[in-house]
Amino acid sequence: MQYGGAAVRTAQDDVSENNVISKYSMNIKDGATLNITGGKDVKAIVTTNAITGTVNVDDNLNMNMGAGHSIAVLAGNMNVGKTGNVDIITAQVQTGGKSIGTFDGGQYGVLSIGVGYAGNLTNTDSNTINDNGSIKVVRTSTADSMSPIISMGSGASGLLKGNFTVKVNEGATLDLQDSEDQTNLRMIYVSGSSVPSHLNFTNPGYVNLQCNNDLPENGSDLVYLEGQPNGVTITQSPIAQGDEANKSETPSWTWIVKNASSMNNWGDNTGFGFTAASKTAPQNATGDPKFLHSNGSVIMATSQSGLNSFQYNGSQKASKDSAQGVITTFSNGF
């Protein structure tokens, strides 16, 4: 099971003077640099029982990880401050299935937050990645694997406890580049069918979700949020998408978005499409735009939609003088 083998491992949560368990387990303070080189199957940073304990990064954290089930961060939470910079290169390949019975299971990503040790079937009240600085992960392996780059949640079914959130805040960078042939669990994967899960981009400086090999098994699914309610919220962001066949520097699609929010009600096979409220199965047929069945909304910026912002809410379209084609293109291509 290799519970050891970590470059840095905290034995317990830090305790403050009044004997209250603090919210952190490890700090890389402003002015500090931590470099970690890990071989095959080696974990870099592990906190407590890996469903609690927080890694705080306020300066440079550089990791060069090996192959196999090499996990860069196995913790309860991860906070990257405005001066924080996380730079990870890894050759991680997970050969196991979705089960977390071993560290080789697909449940474990390069950043495993709130997953816990092998065999864990419990969640805490909440687990968060809070990015105010820069997170960059480059996976160089081209092998078949179902391991995400970011994984959250224990994978236990029927749990009512837990709340998982990935936040990319004002001016922050999230750069995920994956050369593996993803077979199932997507680039960002949040597990737990009965717990809320959210991915929020709020006026970020730069976000890059880049598949350098084949697209995931189901095509174009970079993010999989399993729980309910769940959703992706994008605020004040330009969005560029490069389709599979596009290897150039020019995006296939571009949008200027004031606000976009997708929501997906839990149901059967939700990984294959959005399951709208009151429904138990995806409502989009093959070839249908998934966003149109998401109970979501989008407001295009005025620079994209003309003098008036163009809005889409659920199945309703509403505009003043804007061209109808703008929102249709967004829905069909996004």
Q: Are 34 and 72 in contact (CB under 8 A)?
A: no
- Residue 217 CB coordination number (10 Å): 14
pLDDT at 269 over 70: no
Query: In this predicted structure, what is the pLDDT of residue 182?
Result: 73
Alpha helix segments (H runs only) across 92-250 = none
Q: Are 113 and 152 in contact (CB under 8 A)?
A: yes
Q: Are 26 and 8 in contact (CB under 8 A)?
A: yes
- The rounded mean pLDDT for the chain is 80
Q: Give 264 or 40, the one with higher predicted confidence.
A: 40
Query: In this predicted structure, what is the pLDDT of residue 189?
Result: 86
Label residue 45 by pLDDT band (50, 70, 90).
very high
pLDDT at 183 over 50: yes
pLDDT at 225 over 50: yes
pLDDT at 23 over 80: no
Give CA–CA dist 102/149, Å, rounded: 17
Give CA–CA dist 126/229, Å, rounded: 14
Q: Are 59 and 30 in contact (CB under 8 A)?
A: yes
Give CA–CA dist 207/210, Å, rounded: 10
Query: In this predicted structure, what is the pLDDT of residue 303?
Result: 64
pLDDT at 1 over 50: no
Query: In this predicted structure, what is the pLDDT of residue 2?
Result: 46
Give CA–CA dist 202/225, Å, rounded: 18
Query: In this predicted structure, what is the pLDDT of residue 94?
Result: 85
- The answer to whether the Cα torsion of 154, 50, 167, 195 is positive or negative is positive
Q: Give 327 or 85, the one with higher predicted confidence.
A: 85
The 10s digit of each residue's pLDDT in 238-260 is: 888 887 778 788 888 888 888 88
pLDDT at 211 over 80: yes
